[in-house]
């Protein structure tokens, strides 16, 4: 056969005109006169050249006009049409309601199987329509486009039987590989319409049609390949380049491969690569080999479309005799793959005003950083795997709309429509289509999985450009100085208008009680997402340096308005969690004055303290008291794993980097270990500022000042002890620089637009710097869990960073090759090298192996049953995000809060047991001096049965009768639990899995004496004997002078006899949570866990975690970091209930002071309840964390009284059934189990802040040694010594007989005074093992002095 490529060009053109009428040159083109109306029956025994293919397709279109339409999307280099067959119901009309699907074949001209297979698919769909239900449904509901040949020129040069592609038909007629010619995400490949018109045509086609799913058919092996096809480093092979929809791509590739009998084996057995295998018949493109400029990546990144590449045969151009077999192998895969265009979510986005369709609206799925946009009818199709998603529709000029908990089911798309309301007076351009041109879209915005209703909006006549036109970002329009109230309204406005990406919060208050607002902007703004770096901007630290304040408000507006439409902004927001604090010193701003060039009015805070001289310093002692603004920022920075930060100032024009001071106090270069990194990020900012990089900032004010490249080392400029940027670097993972934005500190408002213009590019470029260096995850190689607080060390740079809560980390580095080590307590360190490039962050994960250090392995751990898995899932949900907040809102009860006297209180708790007898049990713990009952209410699903495997929490209040708020809070909490049991699933499950003991009033006598609205009065604080009960808990007789009070005795018996896991005591007079000890000790064993438990309560309280006690009514003023402190630092004293619980009850107890006023007015109770409800619920969640398990011997017999030593210090004992449970702070912990007669056992556990305690089983082996010697040796020695022992016994008997009278008299006197030692005898009789715990949490240096520490609040 003569190939068309061999004919003269004039003859070729003549023959082409005989075959097809070209018509108008505009696209799309359709043939007006087919060469034949006869449809030939397919024989599967020959390839179609271009003329044959054209005739065949035209014949199909003529025969099936009701479902087929043939058109051309463009021409090849040699003028051949790029035919596309559209197959759908009513194919001549463009209407919404059906997702668009495409297959492209023969992209490489010599890979010919795909060309033929797609022709067969066209015929199969057309001829089986109306006969086969599956095909009929597919055609009726899908807009299918099939391009059999993207490279017809290359095919004409190829030769049948050429399996290796040696005849040069792979590329187009200008020798260009079409699958290396698309724009690339890393290299920015340009498209030349002259050399690759085929690519140009396909790009336009992709942009115009907004396909949903696609397949690109090739040949040369048998596998399905999925994005990404290349990586930034362009490693030849082996680099897995993961797309955001990686799980979905794998699923789609498996759909094709698992329906292909040969592909699914993963063993192609190709002659040229006999050893090549593919797991399950699929592979990530870049992992196979690097393909820059590939079509499938372009579809995903620029076309709304998910595409994979299918390699169909080992031989690229096999003999025609193989074609029938290839069709049989691929037919089911081709059909099954098309069907997947109907999974996920689909719907319309319309204008709330007139119902018109909104074009180019971004559809954002939380946690998947890949958005798509709506088509011209407002329609969208978002493929998703089954699951629950939060989905947002966002467009400039409209208020975003988010629908939470959208359920996607298997096999069928969920319908989800959006209605967006325009922003009033919005100047930004929108893409709303005028509804007057057609009918409105459906008005429903509810989800439906079976809706088929569609409405038609006439298509526009204009043809889209090759690529969507670049949209200019929306710039801020309103430039003015914002006072505090104005700024607050601005922030609230943008947080409200853009809730899917913007979240406003406060980190504390200023001296004058102004909020320190922070706006966080991110794709999922309320939570830290694993792998996403945290970035911050802080401004207005000096109140009269205002440019930064206004620039950050401009930046907030810019990011919000351009999200979803500007590629750079969308990328930054989707991949970075950006925290913006416009004003750290709002008090100073309020007194500063406009047009202040170089003054000081308003520079400091209201206490006249320079906040940038108030942070702890590495060289000098900062003597000014730490200010509330400083403390708030310190707590904030330590609570979030920030990577990079900038502190915006004014008065010069330069970027200033650490260190800010020198140990000698001299003006000289003070180099940090990361000096090169700081220079790099500083230049990133200065180079984007058209004035700053010149280095001559303020020639009129400071003519001699010069900064090379617009940057300077801080101390080399002038010394700043106590600066914020140095503190960030030395105490956290965060690299911070200080940016001076202009020579005038407080410029006129008319000058603000020029500051935005000078700095807007620099502000964005600096955020980009957070994505440099290396990042990754440190995880346990055994269970795959991330390791928090692991250390990342870079060789030759003496500055380490640590991993965040889920094991992720970010380490800024300049380009180069580094040796990097990850190590964590209890693991072997791992060292590797990384090559860091300039333009992207290097991914470097570490999988650490545990260091067992010769420890005996534990027995196999039980597999959690489905019920336990569900409970673990509940604990995780309640620990993350808004889970606990949602529980609070779902358990609202009609509260009738009031103060209850003893009689009313007794009736209330008795009423709970009468109304909820199945889950409550009421006990009398004892009586007060005046014979009032001290009630203990137990809430559990089996309150009268022992359940030793469940954790037990104790909630107590009223130890001081003049602070009754805690009593009322616990009564209301008990009512909430009982009322919601059986109604609220989370509350029901928590009660089923927990034993809750509530003691609402320890001191009922004192409560009867207290007086309402007395905030500082001590009346009623003691019991009737005038004893402060919180100084009466002594475990040792040597420490007790008199008998314990009856109230104390009742609580001591409860603490000692119940085996509690956690205790929370409520008190009043402050706003703080304290942890042990109350007594003066030098250090607290396991202090990290104690402090962590207190912080859990504080952080779930709306104001406590801010640390501002604000108790001016009783003189208790101050700022407590995180709202948490050691109890002795508040008011040191001996004999506290908290200390007794720790030392003798072996149970950690925190004390929560719920408010400044001891006995506030009854009207305050609802507010106090609302503040503490979430925190109390958090304690029910927290008691299920830490580590729990059972100790048993090899036969499975439980061992009671075994000692569990935590981290070499803290001890707990196993109780009934051998069970134990200990709360621990998140991190890695060592467990040592000891029991008499058994070999010591060791184990390491990882505790997570959001995971329920895993159940572990510790099995003991018998210890066959005695005193470290073999048992047989000791027995023999004992026998040899028996005679001597008998003689010794006789001597002892004689001596005892001689002294019997004196001994009897001594025992008589001891019995007379038995009462004085009752507590000591009882405690010591509990067994020698428990006596080991007498000083479990005590420091050895502790004395019995009753030393009182000064009140520090």
Q: How buried is 237 (Cβ within 10 angstroms: 0-12 exposed, 13-18 middle, 19+ buried)?
A: exposed
Q: Please report which residue ranges of 530-687 form alpha helices under DSSP H.
A: 547-562, 567-575, 586-591, 628-639, 675-686
3-state secondary structure of 1272: helix
In the structure encoding, which two tokens stand for residue 1030, read together? Answer: 């919180």
Question: Which neighbouring-strand residues pair with 653?
Answer: 741
Within 10 Å of residue 619's Cβ, how many Cβ atoms? 15
**77, 75, 92: which is closest to 22 by C-alpha?**
75
**Cα 423 from chain centroid?**
30
DSSP assignment of 833-887 equals EEEE-SSSPEE--EEEPB--TTPPPPPPPPPPPHHHHHHHHHHHHHHSTTHHHHH
Q: Are 35 and 19 in contact (CB under 8 A)?
A: yes
Q: How many CA atoms lie within 13 A of 1099 on its CB side?
A: 17
Cα dihedral sign for 867, 869, 875, 880?
A: negative
Rounded CA Rg of the chain: 38
Alpha-carbon gap, residue 421 to 397, rounded angstroms? 9
Residue in 326, 550, 688, 740 annotated catalytic:
740
Within 10 Å of residue 617's Cβ, how many Cβ atoms? 18
| Whether 311 is catalytic | yes
Per-residue CA distances from 1004 to 661, 1008, 1046 (Å): 58, 6, 12
Query: How, if at all, do strands 81-87 and 143-147 pair?
Result: antiparallel
- The C-alpha torsion from 1264 through 1267 and 1273 to 1277, rounded to 10°, is -140
Alpha-carbon gap, residue 501 to 574, rounded angstroms? 9
Within 10 Å of residue 45's Cβ, how many Cβ atoms? 10
Alpha-carbon gap, residue 1097 to 1148, rounded angstroms? 14
Buried b (16+ CB within 10 A) or exposed e, 865-884: eeeeeebbebbebbbeeebb
Question: Which neighbouring-strand residues pair with 887?
Answer: none
In the structure encoding, which two tokens stand for residue 1180, read together? Answer: 């029910």
Cα dihedral sign for 800, 803, 804, 805?
A: negative
Residue in 311, 326, 545, 993 annotated catalytic:
311
Q: Are 1057 and 1138 in contact (CB under 8 A)?
A: no
Which positions ≥6 away from 816 have C-beta within 8 Å?
835, 836
Alpha-carbon gap, residue 868 to 133, rounded angstroms? 45
| Residues constituting the chain | 1353
Terminal-residue alpha carbon distance, the chain: 97
Alpha-carbon gap, residue 209 to 71, rounded angstroms? 14
| Whether 708 is catalytic | no
Within 10 Å of residue 891's Cβ, how many Cβ atoms? 17
Q: What are phi and psi of 1315, to 5 degrees?
A: -60, -35
Q: Please report which residue ranges of 482-532 form alpha helices under DSSP H.
A: 484-497
Q: How buried is 941 (Cβ within 10 angstroms: 0-12 exposed, 13-18 middle, 19+ buried)?
A: middle
Question: Which neighbouring-strand residues pair with 1234?
Answer: 1203
Q: Are 94 and 56 in contact (CB under 8 A)?
A: no
- The C-alpha torsion from 310 through 316 and 322 to 323, rounded to 10°, is 50
- Known catalytic residues are 311, 740
């Amino acid at each position: 056969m003569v190939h068309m490529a061999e004919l003269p060009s004039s003859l070729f053109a003549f023959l082409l005109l005989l075959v097809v009428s070209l018509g108008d040159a505009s696209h799309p083109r359709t043939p007006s006169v087919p060469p034949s109306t006869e449809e030939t029956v397919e024989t599967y025994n020959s390839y179609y050249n271009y003329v044959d293919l054209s005739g065949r397709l035209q014949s199909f279109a003529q025969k099936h006009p009701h479902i087929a339409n043939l058109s051309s999307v463009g021409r090849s280099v040699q003028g051949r049409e790029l035919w596309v067959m559209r197959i759908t119901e009513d194919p001549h009309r463009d209407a919404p309601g059906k997702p668009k699907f495409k297959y492209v074949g023969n992209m490489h001209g010599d890979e010919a199987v795909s060309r033929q297979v797609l022709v067969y698919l066209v015929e199969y769909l057309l001829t089986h329509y109306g006969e086969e239900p599956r095909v009929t449904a597919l055609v009726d509901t899908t807009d299918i486009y099939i391009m059999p040949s993207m490279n017809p020129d290359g095919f004409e040069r190829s030769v049948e039987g050429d399996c290796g592609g040696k005849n040069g038909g792979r590329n187009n007629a200008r020798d260009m590989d079409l699958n290396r010619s698309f724009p690339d995400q890393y290299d920015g490949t340009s498209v030349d319409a002259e050399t690759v018109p085929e690519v140009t045509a396909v790009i336009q086609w992709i942009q115009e049609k907004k396909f949903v799913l696609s397949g690109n058919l090739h040949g040369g092996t048998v596998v399905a390949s999925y994005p990404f096809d290349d990586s930034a480093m362009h490693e030849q092979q082996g680099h897995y380049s993961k797309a955001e929809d990686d799980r979905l791509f794998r699923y789609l590739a498996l759909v094709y491969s698992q329906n292909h009998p040969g592909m699914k084996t993963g063993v192609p057995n190709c002659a040229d690569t006999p050893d090549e295998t593919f797991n399950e018949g699929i592979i990530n493109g870049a992992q196979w080999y690097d393909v820059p400029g590939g079509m499938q990546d372009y579809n995903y990144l620029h076309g709304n479309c998910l595409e994979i590449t299918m390699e169909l045969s080992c031989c690229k151009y096999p003999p025609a005799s193989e074609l029938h077999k290839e069709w049989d192998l691929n037919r089911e895969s081709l059909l099954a793959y098309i069907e997947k265009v109907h999974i996920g979510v689909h719907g319309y986005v319309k204008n709330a005003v007139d119902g018109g369709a909104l074009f180019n609206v971004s559809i954002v799925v939380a946690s998947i950083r890949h958005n798509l946009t709506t088509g011209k009818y407002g329609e969208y199709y978002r493929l998703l795997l089954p699951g629950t998603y939060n989905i947002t529709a966002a467009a400039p000029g409209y208020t975003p709309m988010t629908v939470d908990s959208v359920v996607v089911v298997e096999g069928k798309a969920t319908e989800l429509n959006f209605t967006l309301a325009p922003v009033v007076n919005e100047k930004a351009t929108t893409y709303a289509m005028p509804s007057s041109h057609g009918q409105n879209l459906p008005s429903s915005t509810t989800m439906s999985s079976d809706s088929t209703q569609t409405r038609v909006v006439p298509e526009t006549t204009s043809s889209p450009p090759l690529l969507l036109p670049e949209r200019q970002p929306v710039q801020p329009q309103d430039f003015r100085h914002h006072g505090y109230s104005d700024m607050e309204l601005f922030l609230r406005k943008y947080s409200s208008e853009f809730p899917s990406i913007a979240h406003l919060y406060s980190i504390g208050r200023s001296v004058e009680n102004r909020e320190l607002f922070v706006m966080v902007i991110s794709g999922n703004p309320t939570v830290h997402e694993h792998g996403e770096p945290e970035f911050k901007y802080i401004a207005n630290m000096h109140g009269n340096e205002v440019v930064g304040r206004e620039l950050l408000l401009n930046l907030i507006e810019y990011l919000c308005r351009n999200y979803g439409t500007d590629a750079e902004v969308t990328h930054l927001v989707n991949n970075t969690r950006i925290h913006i604090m416009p004003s750290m010193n709002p008090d100073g701003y309020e007194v500063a004055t406009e047009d202040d060039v170089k003054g000081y009015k308003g520079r400091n805070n209201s206490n006249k303290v320079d906040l940038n001289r108030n942070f702890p310093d590495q060289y000098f002692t900062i003597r000014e008291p730490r200010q509330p603004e400083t403390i708030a920022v310190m707590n904030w920075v330590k609570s979030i794993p920030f990577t990079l930060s900038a502190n915006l100032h004014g008065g010069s024009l330069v970027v200033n980097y650490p260190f800010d001071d020198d140990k000698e106090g001299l003006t000289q270069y003070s180099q940090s270990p990361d000096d090169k990194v700081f220079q790099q990020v500083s230049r990133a900012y200065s180079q984007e500022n058209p004035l700053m990089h010149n280095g001559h900032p303020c020639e009129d004010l400071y003519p001699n000042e010069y900064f090379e490249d617009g940057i300077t080392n801080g101390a080399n400029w002038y010394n700043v002890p106590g600066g914020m940027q140095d503190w960030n670097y030395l105490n956290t993972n965060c690299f911070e620089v200080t940016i001076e934005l202009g020579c005038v500190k407080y410029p006129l408002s008319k000058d603000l637009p020029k500051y935005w213009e000078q700095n807007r590019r620099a502000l964005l470029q600096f955020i980009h710097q957070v994505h440099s260096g290396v990042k990754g995850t440190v995880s346990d190689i055994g269970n795959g869990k991330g390791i928090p607080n692991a250390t990342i060390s870079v060789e030759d740079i003496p500055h380490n960073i640590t991993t965040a809560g889920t094991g992720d980390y970010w380490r800024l580095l300049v380009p180069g090759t580094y040796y990097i080590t990850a190590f964590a307590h209890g693991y072997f360190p791992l060292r590797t090298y990384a090559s860091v490039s300039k333009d992207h962050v290097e991914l470097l994960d570490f999988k650490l192996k545990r260091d067992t250090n010769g420890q005996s392995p534990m027995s196999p751990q039980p597999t959690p049953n489905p019920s336990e898995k569900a409970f673990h899932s509940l604990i995780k949900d309640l620990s993350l995000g808004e889970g606990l907040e949602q529980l609070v809102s779902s358990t609202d009860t009609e509260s009738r809060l009031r103060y209850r006297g003893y009689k009313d209180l007794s009736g209330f708790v008795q009423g709970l047991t009468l109304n909820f007898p199945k889950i409550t049990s009421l006990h009398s713990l004892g009586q007060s001096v005046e014979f009032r009952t001290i009630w203990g209410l137990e809430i559990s699903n089996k309150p009268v049965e022992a359940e030793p495997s469940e954790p037990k929490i104790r909630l107590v209040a009223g130890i001081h009768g003049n602070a009754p708020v805690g009593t009322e809070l616990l009564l209301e909490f008990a009512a909430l639990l009982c009322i919601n049991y059986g109604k609220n699933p989370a509350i029901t499950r928590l009660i089923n899995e927990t034993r809750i003991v509530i003691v609402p009033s320890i001191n009922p006598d004192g409560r009867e004496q207290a007086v309402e609205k007395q905030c500082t009065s001590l009346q009623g604080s003691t019991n009737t004997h005038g004893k402060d009960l919180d100084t009466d808990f002594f475990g040792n007789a040597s420490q007790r002078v008199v008998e314990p009070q009856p109230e104390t005795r009742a609580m001591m018996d409860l603490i000692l006899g119940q085996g509690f896991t956690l205790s929370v005591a409520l008190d009043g007079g402050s706003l703080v949570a304290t942890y042990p000890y109350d007594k003066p000790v030098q250090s607290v064993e396991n202090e990290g866990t104690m402090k962590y438990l207190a912080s859990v309560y504080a952080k779930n309280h709306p104001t406590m975690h801010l640390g501002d006690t604000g108790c001016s009514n009783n003189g208790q003023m101050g700022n407590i970091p995180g709202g948490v402190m050691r109890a002795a630092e508040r008011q040191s004293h001996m004999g506290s209930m908290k200390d007794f619980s720790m030392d003798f009850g072996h149970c950690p107890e925190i004390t929560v002071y719920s408010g400044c006023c001891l006995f506030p007015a009854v009207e305050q109770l609802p507010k106090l309840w609302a503040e503490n409800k979430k925190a109390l619920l958090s304690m029910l969640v927290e008691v299920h964390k830490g580590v729990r398990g059972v100790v048993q011997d090899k036969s499975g017999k439980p061992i009671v009284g075994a000692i569990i030593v935590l981290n070499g210090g803290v001890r707990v004992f196993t109780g009934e059934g051998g069970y134990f449970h200990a709360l621990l702070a998140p991190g890695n912990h060592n467990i040592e189990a000891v029991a008499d007669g058994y070999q010591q056992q060791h184990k390491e556990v990882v505790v997570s802040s959001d995971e329920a305690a895993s159940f572990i089983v510790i099995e003991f082996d018998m210890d066959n040694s005695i005193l470290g010697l073999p048992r047989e040796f000791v027995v023999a020695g004992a026998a040899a010594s028996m005679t001597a022992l008998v003689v010794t016994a006789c001597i002892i008997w004689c001596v005892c007989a001689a002294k019997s009278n004196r001994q009897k008299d001594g025992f008589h006197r001891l019995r007379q005074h038995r009462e004085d030692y009752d507590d000591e005898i009882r405690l010591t009789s509990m067994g020698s093992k428990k006596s080991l715990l007498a000083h479990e949490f005590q420091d050895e240096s502790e004395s019995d002095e009753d030393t009182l520490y000064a009140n520090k609040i």
